[in-house]
Structure 1
Amino acid sequence: MTAQLVHTRIRHVRLTPVRHEFRYRSYGWLVDLDDLPRLPRWLRPLAGFSATDHLGDRDRDRDRDRTLRENVDAFLAEHGIDLRGGSVRMLTNARVFGYVFNPLTLFWCRDNAGEPVCVIAEVHNTYGERHCYLVRPDRHGSANTAKQLFVSPFNPVRGEYRLRVPEPDHLVRVSIVLTDEHPVFAATMTGRCHPATPMTILRAALTSPLAPLVVSARIRWQGIRLWARGLSVHPRPSSLLEEPSR
């Protein structure tokens, strides 16, 4: 398999109106959408990849029947981009025993000459919504984009994300800073890539059992702690509730 496991260290820092920080370890997958993992039957409950988890419209039969690669190509086509058979690498969490939660999924897109074209940053919130940001990073992997999805109840849908998303080699180095006149929140994810073998998959699952569920629970627990510290809660904008999934 070309797939790789990434043992990650994740850090979240809220900078204002109070400082709050937490860190945790987990693992994710770095996969080529044209060569998704083909796992032994006994390992499949620990790593599932579904097209309905990324891009597309979950409620449309046409979108549900597409592959992950077809979802990406369709999304890019809406923005006038044709990779002409180029490659797409995805960094994400896989389904574990049927459950998945992906705060951030990244897609690095190259054309058929191997040249970088763009990056798709797909954000999921804890309300079951998602939004895809299409960015064209510079040679350092840096890009900016306006915030468009309600993610944390302590931040309105306002401001700008400053992204650093260089394509991984043997290391993953990702950072996101939300600014609203000044930095509000920062998150980093770093990790080392390892070949995905039955042994490394099993070891990762035992070291970080039910990883997607634990990530979701950690985020909610930190939200409870912030609420207990008296942070103001922003209601979800009603206009966003009527928008399609991306």
Structure 2
Amino acid sequence: MTARYDVTIRHQRHSPVRYGLASKGAVWLVDLDDLPRLPRGLGWLVGFHSADHLGDPARTLRENVDAWLARSGVARPARVTMLAQPRVLGHAFDPLTLFSLYDHDGTRTGVVAEVRNTYGGRHCYLLRPDGQGRADVAKAFYVSPFNPVDGHYTIRVPEPDDELAVVVTLHRPGQAPFTATMTGTRSRGASLWSALGRPWRTRGVSAAIRWHGVKLYLRGLRPFPRGGHA
């Protein structure tokens, strides 16, 4: 099972200043027990690698997810899918990776949301989505320098089908200052080779985050200290 979603990613700040941005991209839905690969010797061009995600780079992605779940007191799922961007031409930057957990009956039992920031850090949240794919979780990781580490997220992560619609809303006392969405449609029969058609996309994500950070700074926002969340 491999699918590509051509997506539009939008970020909207509601306070203390209103500021929005939108960009095009592509994410892949893959089974961790059956990862797509290019022919031998060509994997460096594009692929999915443990070093770009949680855990030990020497282990497989599936082994690392299982180990993280075990430390969180969660039994090994029968199947795990990953929604992520691949590494392309040696570079990977995936701000949000979603691992969906399934039991032997094919029922989704949870989601691990792995968040990565531009400072080289990453953090995983264990989500238990309801019937509408919604879950709430306390914020525990420094992401945008213009938001402190407090409040909580409401995350909508319905199971991907022909359409993909992920919504992340940050709630702080008395306000919801930030919303991010990722929406798109499924491209059937997608091959990993297609990721090479726009090799700048993964580099463009981290570059765009920094560029928009400069623009927000010029509009008067100032960073909150990272403190213990560095």
Does TM, scored on the shorter chain, surpass 0.5?
Answer: yes
In structure 2, distance between residues paired with 1:46 and 1:9:
24
Query: How far off is 1:26 after superposition?
Result: 0.6
> Which has the larger share of helix?
1
Aligned to 1:205: 196
Offset from partner CA, 1:175-222 (integer Å, 9 cap, x none): 000010210100000111223544xx444532x332110011111110
Alignment of 1:105-184 (within 5 A): 105-181=97-173, 182-184=175-177
Do 1:87 and 1:111's aligned partners in 2 also have CA atoms closer than 8 Å?
A: yes
> Which has the larger share of strand?
2
Aligned to 1:71: 64
Query: How far off is 1:15 after superposition?
Result: 0.6
Offset from partner CA, 1:25-79 (integer Å, 9 cap, x none): 01111100011002235864442211122111xxxxxx23211001111111112
The one-letter code of the counterpart of 1:205 is L
What SS does the aligned partner of 1:16 have? coil
Which runs of 5 or more structure 2 residues have no equivalent in the other structure? none
Aligned to 1:60: none
Aligned to 1:231: 221
In structure 2, distance between residues paired with 1:212 and 1:177:
23
**TM-score after normalising by structure 1:** 0.88
**TM-score after normalising by structure 2:** 0.94
In structure 1, distance between residues paired with 2:195 and 2:53:
23
Do 2:2 and 2:36's aligned partners in 1 also have CA atoms closer than 8 Å?
A: yes
State, as a whole percentage, how many aligned pairs show the same letter. Answer: 49
Do 2:70 and 2:76's aligned partners in 1 also have CA atoms closer than 8 Å?
A: no
Which runs of 5 or more structure 1 residues have no equivalent in the other structure? 57-62, 242-246
Aligned to 2:22: 23
Tell me whether 1:33 sits opposite 2:35 in the alignment: no
